[in-house]
């Protein structure tokens, strides 16, 4: 049996405490998930979830400065990792099992008694982070974010996680506290500890450190918009340099859709190692890109199938044309049994390897549970074994369609070259 033992206890304030027993490991992960991110923000608040995450590092009552807080974490042999996404925000520490209880104490202090000091210092840091995505004229040059805006348009899922510069410049302490008080209640969060731990011990530590968190409310997720209409969509942003960055997105089926496993198999046929089609054809054999890769971004009730890479400006139309030819092959059923067999083997290996990764287990059983019950690993393997060529064709026909295409190109493209790219996209059927 490959499925780890997962136990859940709900504290009196509504906080879910979950453990994933991995007795074969020598380290553990303590992960606090909060259902807050860019999809929960209005345009006026866009970027506030990320800003609050940053401000939480500015100290607590017990650890009044960022230095004191980080020192306390590092004395446990760990580092406090945090990230804000579209669907949730994560705070995580990896450490030896004997330090799980004090790590939970730190989480309790972080979420229970934040000071939110030094807002101007943190504002400057976030503004520096934003500068990476804009040129000297203030034009956005992050192809990934531009493409997501094309797919989701005015829906919150199309917003940048870090937000626009104008919002970050005006966020005040009151905004930080308002956002924190609304979203950081116990009922809107979960604690997951994965590793060689005992559930009862983790619950006792959580009771001590987290039971006094305000219950708050469990926030309902804003539904993803319907699949976009009137595609394909193209946006070119001029940017100096010898290469163009491409982000090519298709609105895909969500993780709860029965066809999702076929989507994963399709991804692996296209791009799962240097022998698969994307790298071998476009990079190795045709020299159209040094680096190009595909991935799936699963969201609570949607997913994106993404192909991203960089190429010389002159090669952009040819690269996109050859890429479409590869996608056409998937839609036409040009998938061999050898390719599918290799995809299954590699999927099984990565699933088994995830059992040796406490962080991966905490993410799957902790983060996913904010929205729905995570599927057992054994069921995922069974589903992949059952995927056939016809399943891949069906999902390819559904997802890899011109009306679902959004393409962002950031680079120096002449008028003629941009016209050629437009024609490649227009001609694709």
Residues 235-278 pLDDT 10s? 999 998 899 999 999 999 999 999 999 999 999 999 999 999 99
Q: Is residue 280 part of a domain?
A: yes
Q: How many CB atoms lie within 10 A of CB 223?
A: 12
398 with 255, same domain: the answer is: yes
- Last-in-domain residue among 210, 243, 265: 210
- Specify if 199 maps to a domain: yes
Counts of helices then strands in the chain (DSSP H, E): 16, 11
Residue 397 in any domain: the answer is: yes
| In a shared domain, residues 136 and 282 | no
Contact criterion met (CB below 8 Å) for 244 and 313: yes
Could you give the angle at the alpha carbon of 396 between the alpha carbons of 161 and 329, nearest 5°? Answer: 120
Q: What pLDDT, on the 0 to 100 scale, is given for residue 50?
A: 98
Looking at the fold, whether 329 and 278 belong to one and the same domain comes out as yes
345 and 389: one domain? yes
Mean pLDDT check: name the lowest of 34-43, 127-136, 176-185: 127-136
Is residue 405 within 8 A of residue 425, CB to CB? The reply is yes
Does residue 217 belong to any structural domain of this protein? no
Report yes or no: 271 and 294 within 8 Å, Cβ to Cβ.
yes
One domain for residues 199 and 263: no
Q: Judge if 147 and 204 occupy the same domain.
A: yes
Q: Tell which of 175, 210, 245 closes a domain.
A: 210
Alpha-carbon span 418 to 420, nearest angstrom: 5
- Residues 102, 248 share a domain: no
Let me know whether 185 and 296 are in one domain: no
21: left (phi over 0), alpha (psi -120 to 50) or beta: beta
Q: Are 295 and 257 in contact (CB under 8 A)?
A: no
- Write out pLDDT tens, residues 209-224: 999 999 999 999 889 9
Q: Which residues pair with 30 in a beta bridge?
A: 93, 193
Under 8 Å between Cβ of 262 and 395: yes
Tell me, what's the pLDDT at 226?
86
Q: Are both 243 and 378 inside the same structural domain?
A: yes
Residue 219 φ/ψ, nearest 5 degrees: -75, 135
CATH number assigned to the domain comprising residue 118? 3.30.830.10
Residues 240 and 202 in one domain: no
pLDDT at 334: 94
Q: Of the candidates 18, 23, 95, 3, which has an alpha carbon nearest to the alpha carbon of residue 352?
A: 3
By DSSP bridging, strand 89-95 and strand 5-10 are: unpaired
Mean pLDDT over 277-289 rounds to 96
pLDDT at 353: 97
Count of domains forming the chain? 2
Residues in CB range of 299: below 8 A, 6 or more apart: 39, 86, 87, 157, 224, 254
Has residue 221 been placed in a domain? no
SS3 276: coil
- pLDDT tens-place string over residues 32-56: 999 999 999 999 999 999 999 999 9
Task: Extract the tokens encoding 212.
Answer: 């006094």
pLDDT of residue 102: 98
**Sequential DSSP letters for 12-51:** TTS-EEEEEE-TT-S-EEEEEEES-SGGG--TTTTTHHHH
Contacts of 372 (CB under 8 A, 6+ apart): 256
* The pLDDT of residue 230: 77
Local confidence band at 136 (pLDDT 50, 70, 90 cut-offs): confident
| Tens-digit pLDDT profile for residues 389-410 | 999 999 999 999 999 999 999 9
The reported pLDDT for the residue numbered 290 is 87
1 pLDDT tier (thresholds 50, 70, 90): confident
> Does pLDDT of 123 surpass 90?
yes
CA dist., res. 281 & res. 275, Å (int): 9
Under DSSP, the state recorded for 114 is B
For a pLDDT cut of 70, what percent of the chain falls above it?
Answer: 100
For 72-83, what is the mean pLDDT? 97
Task: Provide the β-strand partners of residue 60.
Answer: 114
- Residue 160 domain boundaries: 5-210
Is residue 228 included in any domain, yes or no? no
For 146-157, write each residue's pLDDT tens digit.
Answer: 999 999 988 999
In a domain, 316, yes or no: yes
User: Is residue 294 assigned to a domain?
Assistant: yes
Q: Report the candidate in 306, 304, 289 with the shortest Cα–Cα distance to residue 243.
A: 289
Residue among 25, 49, 378, 15 nearest 187 (CA): 15
Q: CA-to-CA distance for 255 and 264, rounded, in angstroms?
A: 10
The answer to whether residues 196 and 252 belong to one domain is no
Q: Is there a single domain that holds both residue 104 and residue 196?
A: yes
């Amino acid at each position: 049996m490959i499925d780890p033992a997962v136990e859940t206890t709900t504290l009196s304030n509504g906080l879910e405490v979950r453990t994933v027993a991995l007795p074969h490991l020598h380290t553990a992960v303590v992960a606090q998930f909060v259902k807050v991110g860019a999809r929960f923000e209005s345009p006026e608040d866009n970027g506030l979830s990320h800003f609050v995450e940053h401000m939480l590092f500015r100290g607590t009552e017990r650890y009044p400065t960022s230095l004191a807080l980080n020192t306390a974490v590092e004395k446990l042999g760990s580092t406090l990792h945090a990230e804000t996404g579209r669907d949730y925000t994560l705070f995580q520490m990896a450490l030896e099992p004997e330090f799980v209880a004090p790590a939970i104490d730190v989480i309790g202090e972080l979420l229970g008694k934040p000071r939110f000091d030094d807002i101007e210092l943190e504002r400057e840091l976030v503004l520096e982070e934003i500068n990476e995505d804009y040129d000297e004229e203030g034009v956005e040059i992050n192809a990934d974010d531009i493409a997501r805006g094309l797919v989701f348009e005015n829906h919150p899922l199309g917003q940048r996680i870090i937000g626009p510069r104008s919002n970050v410049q005006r966020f005040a302490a009151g905004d930080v506290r308002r956002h924190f008080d609304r979203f950081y209640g116990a009922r809107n969060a979960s604690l997951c500890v994965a590793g060689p731990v005992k559930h009862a011990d983790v619950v006792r530590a959580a009771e001590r450190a987290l039971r006094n968190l305000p219950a708050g409310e469990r926030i309902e997720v804003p539904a993803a918009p319907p699949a976009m209409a009137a595609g394909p969509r193209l946006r070119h942003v001029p940017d100096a340099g010898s290469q163009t960055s491409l982000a090519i997105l298709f609105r895909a089926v969500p993780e709860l859709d029965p066809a999702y496993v076929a989507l994963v198999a399709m991804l692996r046929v296209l791009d799962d190692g240097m022998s698969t089609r994307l790298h071998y054809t476009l990079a190795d054999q045709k020299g159209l890109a040094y680096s190009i890769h595909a991935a799936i971004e699963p969201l609570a009730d949607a997913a994106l199938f993404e192909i991203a890479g960089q190429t010389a400006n002159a090669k952009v139309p040819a690269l996109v044309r050859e890429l479409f030819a590869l996608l056409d092959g998937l839609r036409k059923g040009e998938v061999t049994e050898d390719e599918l067999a290799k995809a299954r083997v590699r999927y099984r290996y990565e699933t088994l390897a995830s059992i040796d990764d406490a962080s991966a287990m905490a993410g799957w059983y902790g983060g996913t549970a904010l929205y729905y019950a995570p599927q057992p690993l054994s069921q995922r393997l069974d589903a992949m074994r059952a995927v056939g060529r016809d399943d891949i064709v069906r999902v390819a026909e559904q997802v890899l369609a011109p009306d679902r295409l959004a393409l962002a190109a950031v680079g120096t493209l002449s008028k003629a070259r941009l016209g050629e790219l437009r024609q490649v996209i227009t001609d694709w059927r």
